[in-house]
């Protein structure tokens, strides 16, 4: 049966009359108590070449990142809007906050990571032009969201042992020189190094307590277990990359004491 056009028009008008009016929201009052939901900036290496990295992060549907920084030519790709969650951090923790995907922006840096050789594990360097681009992008992200220097981190920091990126070849000191993170005060480190070289090394529990004070998730049982070694190694990657064996030693103790003591970190 065909319904006459006048009847269809009348039905449409009736339905329109029944529809709810648009919800009116007054936006003229803005609270002074607010901030960006983004608290952390997390830096990664891809452990793959550019084409494979792009496929993994943009097409495969398992993981993602807000940005991907290519090495040759140096190019920046935005894969996820900063207002949306990207799945780059995985199981993660820093300074009492876990599952950092919900509160972070991730930058993936195209870099092959490391190769295990007969001489040991060898990490790939980062081209300076690529680092320059990452620093510029990081500055813009930090400024947009008001991210604190202590919340600009590597993937290894928030998942020690499970992750190594961005690795010991990543130039964290350049990030400090660019004002993105703080750096241990050299004079204090030298003073504490002299002390620790002339005194018995603190016990493992001391290292664990200090690492936890910095922000790492680390066991607190006083045993030098694999998890504790992983965290020590991760700390060394950032501040003493020449030796990342995860062994407690005088230099690591000096750096850790300064990093974990109020007033020990400085802007370069």
Positions annotated as catalytic residues are 108
Which bin fits 38, alpha (ψ -120 to 50), beta or left (φ > 0)? beta
* DSSP single-letter state for residue 149: G
Decide if 105 contacts 66 (C-beta within 8 A): yes
Radius of gyration of the chain (CA): 25
Strands 76-78 and 265-266: unpaired
With beta carbons less than 8 A apart as the criterion, state whether 114 and 164 touch. yes
Q: Hunting for tokens 């070694």 — which residue is that?
A: 229
For residues 149 and 28, what is the distance between their CA atoms, to the nearest angstrom? 33
Residue with tokens 């003073």: 191
User: 260 φ, ψ to 5°?
Assistant: -95, 0
């Amino acid at each position: 049966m065909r319904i006459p056009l006048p009847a269809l028009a009348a039905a449409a008008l009736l339905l329109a009359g029944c529809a709810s009016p648009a919800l009116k929201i007054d936006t003229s009052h803005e609270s002074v108590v607010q901030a960006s939901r983004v608290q952390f900036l997390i830096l990664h290496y891809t452990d793959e070449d550019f084409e494979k990295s792009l496929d993994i992060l943009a097409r495969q549907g398992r993981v993602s990142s807000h940005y991907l920084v290519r090495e040759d030519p140096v190019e920046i790709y935005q894969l996820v809007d900063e207002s949306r969650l990207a799945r780059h951090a995985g199981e993660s923790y820093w300074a009492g906050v876990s599952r950092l995907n919900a509160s972070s922006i991730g930058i993936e840096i195209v870099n092959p990571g490391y190769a295990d050789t007969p001489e040991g594990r060898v990490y790939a360097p980062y081209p300076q032009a690529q680092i320059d681009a990452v620093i510029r992008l990081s500055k813009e992200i930090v400024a947009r969201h008001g991210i604190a220097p202590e919340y600009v981190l590597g993937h290894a920091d928030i998942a020690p042992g499970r992750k190594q990126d961005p690795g010991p070849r990543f130039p964290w000191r350049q990030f400090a020189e660019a004002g993105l993170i703080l750096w241990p005060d050299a004079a204090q480190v030298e003073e504490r190094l002299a002390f620790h070289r002339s005194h018995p090394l603190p016990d493992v529990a001391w290292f664990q307590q200090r690492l936890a004070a910095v922000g790492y998730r680390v066991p607190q049982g006083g045993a030098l277990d694999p998890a504790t070694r992983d965290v020590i190694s991760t700390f060394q990657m950032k501040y003493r990359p020449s030796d990342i064996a995860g062994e407690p030693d005088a230099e690591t103790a000096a750096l850790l004491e300064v990093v974990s003591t109020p007033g020990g970190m400085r802007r370069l």
